[in-house]
């Protein structure tokens, strides 16, 4: 298949692996930020092919994994209302809240529907004027523009029964939190190509300059990831710390200005609660006052959780401090069919990727 086959070409991969080996003179620790990259690395077994002195740790870039348990509980409470049709992206359905998942709520009678885009949820609202239709707006800079567009359309067409439960996250503050963390071992970052396709290079340039760390915007196919690693390692070996774009076929240096315009029209930057990490300042989006009428949060209050009640070490996983097999519950009490935490849920989650492919 065009645009896939050439980036999965074995010869090309072997050439890149040889170059990486030839460049390395000492051990380095890199983080791939996006869950899609983690999935690809483990699915294609790239970690088996790379030199042992190069360590890849998996970052916080899986939208399913970072959505706070409190937010999932709130979503389940809203979905349980008789007057609500709750629409969600598919892989949010299995994320465990404190007591059950949205899929469990559905089995108990909640009207939970899988949609492929927020505009599909808006259509459900237009087709069901007597019910409240709530869309679970999760994800990073990649999914926020679609949420914004659906909200702008809803406002423009005067749809009264459409709501969104917003849990949008921003990647750069998470990278800052990782670098500033006391236990940080990451020396270079593979930045998420699809996020940068929206944001452009500016945020990466700021981070690289502020923390003196190489950041390479990287794609998702095996050759993309190896090219990102190669350029990151080359910088580290030279002592450089720059932002580079190795995914120009998708991510322009200026990003997607139209998408950002819609996001800025509907959302403003706010603090956000990251699962397993906690609240980070300016790391999420909330609705602007003009769009407050669409906020689903007042439909059910989020619960207050005891931080110590969880067995999942997702915070350490998401910050790259531990790898999934280092969790005592990995593969035993915690499996994809019974996840203790979100990283075991989505195929982009580091734990699920390890479980499925190793």
Partner 1 sequence: MNSDQPDAQTLNLHCPSPIEADCIQLGHGGGGQLSSQLFNEVIAPRFANAELNRGHDSALLNLAGADVAFTTDSYVVNPLIFPGGSIGKLAVFGTVNDLLMAGARPQYISCSLIIEEGLAISTLGMILDDMADAAREAGVEIVTGDTKVVERGHGDGLFINTAGIGVREWPGVIAPQSIQPGDCLILSADIGRHGLAILAQRQGLQFDAPLQSDCASLLPAVTALFDAGLEVHCLRDATRGGLASVLVELAETSGCRFDVRESAIPVSPVVTGACELLGFDPLHIANEGCFVAAVAPEHAEQALVLLRQQAVSGSCALIGRVSEAGDGKVYLETPLGSRRVLRRMTGRLLPRIC
36 binds partner 1 (CB under 8 A): yes
Q: Which stretch binds partner 1 (CB under 8 A): 49-57, 148-156, 165-173, 229-237?
A: 49-57
209 binds partner 1 (CB under 8 A): no
Among 20, 30, 33, 42, binds partner 1 (CB under 8 A): 42
19 binds partner 1 (CB under 8 A): no
- What's the N-to-C CA distance of the chain in angstroms? 26
Least CB distance to partner 1 at residue 338 (A): 5
Which position has the token pair 């890199």?
A: 30
Q: Length of the chain in residues, anyone?
A: 358
Q: Is the CB of 114 or the CB of 270 nearer to partner 1?
A: 114
Query: Distance between CA atoms of 253 and 260, rounded to whole angstroms?
Result: 14
63 binds partner 1 (CB under 8 A): yes
231 binds partner 1 (CB under 8 A): no
Q: At what angle do helices 35-43 and 222-238 cross, to 10 degrees?
A: 110
> Which DSSP category does 5 fall into?
G
Q: Please list every residue from 79 through 118 that binds partner 1, using CB under 8 A.
A: 89-94, 100, 103-104, 106-108, 114, 116
Distances (CA, A) of 105 to 65, 69, 166, 349: 19, 15, 19, 22
138 binds partner 1 (CB under 8 A): yes
Q: Is the CB of 78 or the CB of 138 nearer to partner 1?
A: 138
Distances (CA, A) of 92 to 159, 218, 233: 25, 25, 35
Least CB distance to partner 1 at residue 320 (A): 12
262 binds partner 1 (CB under 8 A): no
Which position has the token pair 């940080």?
A: 184
124 binds partner 1 (CB under 8 A): no
Record the tokens describing residue 80, joined without a space: 């349980």
Burial state string for 170-192 with b = 16 or more CB within 10 A and e = fewer than 16: bbbbbbbbbbeeeebebbbbbbb
356 binds partner 1 (CB under 8 A): yes
Record the tokens describing residue 310, joined without a space: 């969880």
Q: Please list, in sequence order, all residues whose beta carbon lies within 8 angstroms of the beta carbon of residue 116, skipping any fewer than 6 positions away.
A: 89
Q: Is the CB of 279 or the CB of 356 nearer to partner 1?
A: 356
331 binds partner 1 (CB under 8 A): yes
Q: Please list, in sequence order, all residues whose beta carbon lies within 8 angstroms of the beta carbon of residue 138, skipping any fewer than 6 positions away.
A: 63, 64, 67, 88, 89, 92, 167, 168
Q: Which stretch binds partner 1 (CB under 8 A): 201-209, 246-254, 257-265, 330-338?
A: 330-338
Q: Please list, in sequence order, all residues whose beta carbon lies within 8 angstroms of the beta carbon of residue 200, skipping any fewer than 6 positions away.
A: 251, 252, 253, 254, 255, 256
Q: Is the CB of 194 or the CB of 319 nearer to partner 1?
A: 194
Among 71, 143, 187, 272, binds partner 1 (CB under 8 A): 143
User: x-or-dash pattern for partner 1, window 162-201, by CB under 8 A?
Assistant: --------------------------------x-------
Least CB distance to partner 1 at residue 209 (A): 28
Query: Distance between CA atoms of 52 and 50, rounded to whole angstroms?
Result: 6
Least CB distance to partner 1 at residue 332 (A): 5
Site residues, partner 1 (CB under 8 A) = 1, 4, 8, 10, 13, 36, 42-49, 52, 55-56, 63-64, 89-94, 100, 103-104, 106-108, 114, 116, 138-140, 142-143, 194, 222, 323, 325-326, 330-333, 335-338, 346-348, 355-358
């Amino acid at each position: 298949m065009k645009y896939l086959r050439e980036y999965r070409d074995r010869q090309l991969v072997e050439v890149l692996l040889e170059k990486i080996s030839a460049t390395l003179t000492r051990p380095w620790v890199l983080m791939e930020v996006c869950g899609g990259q983690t999935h690809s690395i483990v699915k294609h077994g790239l970690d088996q092919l790379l030199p042992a002195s190069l360590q890849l740790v998996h970052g916080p870039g899986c939208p399913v994994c970072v959505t706070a348990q409190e937010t999932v509980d709130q979503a389940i409470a809203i979905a349980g209302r008789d007057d609500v049709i709750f629409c969600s992206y598919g892989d949010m359905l299995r994320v465990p809240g404190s007591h059950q998942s949205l899929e469990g709520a559905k089995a108990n009678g909640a009207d939970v529907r899988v949609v492929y885009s927020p505009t599909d949820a808006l259509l459900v609202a237009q087709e069901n004027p007597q019910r409240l239709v709530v869309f679970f707006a999760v994800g990073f800079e990649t999914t926020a523009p679609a949420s914004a567009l659906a909200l702008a359309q809803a406002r423009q067409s005067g749809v009264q029964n459409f709501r969104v439960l917003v849990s949008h996250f921003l990647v750069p503050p998470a990278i800052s939190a990782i670098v500033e963390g006391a236990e940080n071992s990451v020396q270079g970052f593979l930045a998420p190509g699809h996020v940068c396709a929206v944001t452009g290079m500016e945020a990466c340039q700021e981070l690289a300059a502020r923390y003196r760390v190489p950041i390479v915007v990287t794609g998702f196919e095996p050759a993309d990831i190896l090219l990102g690693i190669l350029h990151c390692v080359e910088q580290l070996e030279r002592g450089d710390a720059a932002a580079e774009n190795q995914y120009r076929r998708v991510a322009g240096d200026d990003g997607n200005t139209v998408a950002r315009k819609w996001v800025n029209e509907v959302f403003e930057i706010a603090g956000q609660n990251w699962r397993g990490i906690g609240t980070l300042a300016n790391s999420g989006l909330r609705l602007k006052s003009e769009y407050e009428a669409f906020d689903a949060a007042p439909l059910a209050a989020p619960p207050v959780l005891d931080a110590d009640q969880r067995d999942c070490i997702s915070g350490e996983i998401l910050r790259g401090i531990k790898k999934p097999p280092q969790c005592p519950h990995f593969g035993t009490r915690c499996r994809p069919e019974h996840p203790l935490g979100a990283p075991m849920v989505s195929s982009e989650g580091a734990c699920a990727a390890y479980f499925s492919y190793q």
